[in-house]
């Protein structure tokens, strides 16, 4: 089943997204969400993000914190950098541990921008963002995000833009410290990039690269190049397809894709 695209306009989005994603009519698109017309949302949400400006410095709660606030789940996410301008930056974690009081004051004053650990990125870099991680995506980046199905973001700092901040909730769920998660690096083909707790994720050129598919349930395939065929449909860059692990799945010779389950 090829998932439906939902185009999301953002002030930090782009107007020069390639035609592979369909006619965008000059809109400033920051995100493309992929979802199915099911009564209960699928547990994994795949997005493309396109940035021309920096995103806010923000944080997401974990499951327990979100449920205490009346929401179904928290949000942990994964980023795979598809394209990046020279010198493009991603901020993950802080240069040193910050207390709640320090994080609140730094977010209020703008010092948080200086305290973030800004990392240069290039195509093929990937990062898993656990709940509680203070993070931001810089300008000039296109990436695929795979996440828990939750739309819950607490902004800590937004560079003076006229958007709501969520300092009390954001500080309460933050673990402001240096980023050390092992689920990060530069992707090699046939590599497992993420192993739980909410999903596994592989970067592959063929389903034979995934040695242990689940015996039941869905898998999400996001092509980055070439074509992937399954269930009588063909998916290419700009598409996301959900199918059964038992389905016949064929990759073209030039195909590369992210596979999640």
Q: Tell me what pLDDT residue 212 has.
A: 82
pTM for the predicted model, two decimal places = 0.96
By C-alpha distance, which of 258, 212, 210, 214 is closest to 235?
A: 258
- Residue 61 has a pLDDT of 98
| Residue ranges of domains in the chain, CATH in brackets | 51-186 (2.60.120.10), 191-260 (2.60.120.10)
103's tokens = 């994080």
Determine the Cα–Cα distance for residues 232 and 16; give it in Å rounded to an integer.
31
Residue 16 confidence (pLDDT):
93
Residues with catalytic function: 155
Q: What pLDDT is attached to residue 252?
A: 98
Show the low-confidence residues of the chain (pLDDT under 70).
none
The answer to whether 214 and 261 have CB atoms below 8 angstroms apart is: yes
Q: Bin 97: left if φ > 0, else alpha if -120 < ψ < 50, else beta.
A: beta
Q: What pLDDT is recorded for position 63? A: 97
């Amino acid at each position: 089943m090829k998932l439906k695209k939902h185009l999301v306009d953002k002030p930090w989005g782009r107007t020069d997204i390639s035609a592979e994603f369909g006619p965008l009519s000059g809109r400033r698109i920051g995100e493309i969400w992929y979802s199915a017309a099911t009564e209960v949302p699928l547990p994994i949400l795949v997005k493309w993000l396109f940035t021309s400006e920096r995103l806010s410095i923000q944080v997401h709660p974990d499951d327990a914190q979100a449920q205490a606030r009346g929401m179904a789940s928290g949000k942990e996410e994964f980023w795979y950098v598809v394209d990046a301008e020279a010198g493009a930056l991603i901020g993950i974690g802080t240069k040193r541990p910050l207390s709640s009081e320090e994080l609140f004051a730094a977010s209020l004053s703008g010092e948080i921008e200086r305290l973030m650990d800004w990392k240069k990125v290039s195509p093929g870099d990937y990062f898993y963002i656990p709940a509680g991680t203070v993070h931001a995506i810089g300008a000039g980046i296109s990436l695929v995000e795979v996440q828990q199905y939750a739309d819950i973001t607490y902004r800590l700092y937004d560079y003076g833009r006229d958007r709501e901040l969520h300092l009390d909730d954001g500080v309460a769920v933050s673990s402001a410290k240096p980023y050390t998660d092992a689920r990060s690096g530069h992707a090699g083909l046939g590599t497992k990039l993420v192993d739980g707790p909410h999903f596994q994720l592989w970067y592959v050129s063929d389903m034979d690269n995934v040695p242990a598919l689940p015996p039941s349930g869905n898998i999400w395939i996001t092509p980055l190049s070439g074509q992937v065929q399954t269930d009588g449909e063909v998916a290419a860059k700009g598409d996301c397809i959900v199918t059964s692990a038992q389905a016949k799945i064929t990759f073209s010779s030039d195909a590369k894709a992210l596979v999640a389950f």
